[in-house]
Amino acid sequence: MKILVCISHVPDTTSKINFTNNDTEFDTNGVQFVINPNDEFGLTKAVILKEQQGASVTVVNVGGTDAEATLRKALAIGADEAIRINANPTDGMFVAKQLAEVVKQGGYDLIIAGKESLDYNGGMVPGMLAGILNYNFVNSCTGLEIDGSNAKVIREIDGGKETLSTSLPLIIGGQKGLVEEKDLRIPNMRGIMMARSKALTVNEPTNDNNATKAVKFEKPAPKSAVKLVSADNLDELVNLLHNEAKVI
């Protein structure tokens, strides 16, 4: 079985976010980038399937040279090879089309993507990729078992979970729960050393133009200052909650 794991190169959630050029571009200065958390669950699941069933695992990213450190980390975690498509991933359809070319050329049986990345939060790419390739697709995936060419998939739905049976080739949009958090892999020294010798291929993008572009970014309004009310002044507290906060 050949597995392709789509990796997004995203800012660490603890990073302080700023914008430049009249709030039209993200300011990367001083920002630490990591594997998208939803993708990390998917990568760990792929490595487990590799250990259990002898699958091969390839990771792919649409991005610039700065994403290669993230791909090397994925290799250190257990992926066999990496592919970087040399393009700026600003549009969901553009990214899906680039990934589709990789899938067609590689003949992958299982494609694991995060249900969304934590930078743009578009949640579009896995479904678009499945539409382009006409592959079976399950989103919000929290469980996956592979038996030959058959798959049992658990996905999160409103108010509960749903168990589905399907067949390969299959695309899933994974999320937290696909593996237990305690099972997430941390690169060890042996994995880091081996990652240096694993193949990292750079492909140029196909000639597809971005369908959308970011016009402007805006940060949330800052939180108002905290008001302290004396413990023995309940009348003032009730007044503030009723007339200012408007919660009662």
| 53-106 pLDDT per residue, tens | 999 999 999 999 999 999 999 999 999 999 999 999 989 999 999 999 999 999
Do 113 and 226 form a contact (C-beta atoms < 8 A)? no
Report the pLDDT value the prediction gives residue 14, as an integer from 0 to 100. 87
Report the pLDDT value the prediction gives residue 210, as an integer from 0 to 100. 83
Question: How many angstroms separate the CA atoms of 47 and 32, rounded?
Answer: 25
Residue 214 has pLDDT above 90, yes or no: no
Beta bridge partners of 147: 150
Residue type, 45: K
Q: What would the pLDDT profile of 185-204 be if each residue is shown by its tens digit?
A: 999 999 999 999 999 999 99
Q: What percent of the chain has pLDDT over 90?
A: 77
Residue 244 CA, chain-centre distance (Å), reads 40
Which structure tokens are listed for 220?
Answer: 């949330």
List b or e across 105-123, with b for residues whose CB sees 16 or more CB atoms inside 10 angstroms: ebebbbbbbbbbbbbbeeb
Lowest pLDDT segment from 16-30, 105-119, 212-226: 212-226
Say how many C-beta atoms besides its own lie within 10 A of residue 62's C-beta. 28
Report the pLDDT value the prediction gives residue 211, as an integer from 0 to 100. 85
Report the pLDDT value the prediction gives residue 248, as an integer from 0 to 100. 86
Report the pLDDT value the prediction gives residue 207, as an integer from 0 to 100. 83
Domain locations in the chain?
A: 2-218
CATH number of this structure's domain 2-218: 3.40.50.620
What average pLDDT does this structure show over 105-117? Answer: 96
Q: Is the peptide bond before 169 cis (omega within 30 degrees of 0)?
A: yes
Question: How many angstroms separate the CA atoms of 18 and 169, rounded?
Answer: 40
Indicate the pTM of the whole model: 0.88
Question: How many angstroms separate the CA atoms of 67 and 90, rounded?
Answer: 14
